[in-house]
Amino acid sequence: MQTSSPHQPSAEEIKRQLESLVGHPLDISPDLIIKFRFPVGSYAYLGTDEGAHATWRNIFFPGKVCNEATLLEACGASLTGADGKRVFLLSEVVCFAQLNALSDPINVVVTPRSDKPFFTTVTYTLINNNSDLQITVFAWDANGASAPNVAFDWRCRVVSLPIIL
């Protein structure tokens, strides 16, 4: 006798149902939908006493929520390996002054440094209990082939949360 398992809705299906419930499209990837709130940005008024903030949107309650935040800004330069890829940790270029956990929203930008046309993309993952960020940069030439030895500049902004012991 074959038993059937209960229907497990996909993240895309849950997103469609929530959009129907709230009456408007949700500008969020389906993998974040189960969190019921999602990061949309961070900002700081440099040179003022305003401080830094992280901005979130809630799925059920319209509008945004801006919370004070400590933002870690880092930048650097590197180049891709023989396979057109470079993987590095934020801790390789930042000396963390205290115990912190990193959190969304996270923004990483990569710009190739060349007089020839190259394309770059980037992925990142929080690792080690959110105490570090692994950044992976990929480079392609104008024909779509992996591009080795492409010099690039990068910049990262991430929320840094103090760990209370």
pLDDT confidence of residue 160:
86
- The full set of domain ranges for the chain reads 11-68, 70-162
The whole-number average pLDDT for the span 110-132 is 94
Q: Residue 41: name the closest of 53, 31, 27 by CA.
A: 53
User: Rounded to two decimals, what is the model's pTM?
Assistant: 0.73
What would the pLDDT profile of 69-86 be if each residue is shown by its tens digit?
888 899 999 999 999 999
For 135-148, how does the pLDDT look when each residue is reduced to its tens digit (9 = 90+)? 999 999 999 999 99
Closest among 140, 141, 153 to 85, alpha carbons compared: 140
Q: What is the pLDDT of residues 17-33, one digit of tens each?
A: 878 888 888 777 766 66
Where residue 2 falls among pLDDT bands split at 50, 70, 90?
Answer: very low
70-162 carries CATH number 2.60.40: yes
**Angle 23-29-120 from CA coordinates, rounded to 5°:** 145
